[in-house]
Amino acid sequence: MKAIVNISLKAGVLDSQGKAVHHALDALKFEGVNDVRVGKQIVLNLAQTEKEKALAEVTEMCESLLANTVIEDYEIELIS
C-alpha cells in the first residue's frame, strides 16, 4: 500500500520559502500570483495491506517524526 503524506505549514506561520518563490516568480514577470506556500510530500511504500492499520501507522509516523505538529499540518492519502 502506498501512503502519500502532504505536510504544510499551518496558516499564520511565516513561510519564508514560499515568500522566496513568490518573489522569484515576480522577478520572472509571472503576474497574477497572489500567494505561494511550500510544503513537503512524503511518499511511503508500506508492506501493510489493511487500510485502517496503515492509516494508524502513518498517523503515528507523522506525529512522532514526519511532521512538526506545532507549526505543521499533515494530510494522509492511502492508495492500495
Per CB under 8 A, 80 contacts its own copies: no
Alpha-carbon torsion, ordered 65, 46, 5, 64, to 10 deg = -20
What are the grid coordinates assigned to 23, written together? 518573489
Counting contacts by CB under 8 A, is residue 44 touching its own copies? Answer: yes
DSSP 53-78: HHHHHHHHHIIIII--TTTEEEEEEE
Residue number with CB closer to its own copies (45 or 70)? 45
- Interface residue with its own copies, options 13, 43, 56, 71 (CB under 8 A): 43
36 binds its own copies, rule: CB under 8 A:
yes
User: Of 8, 62, 67, 76, which lies in the binding site for its own copies, with binding defined by CB under 8 A?
Assistant: 8
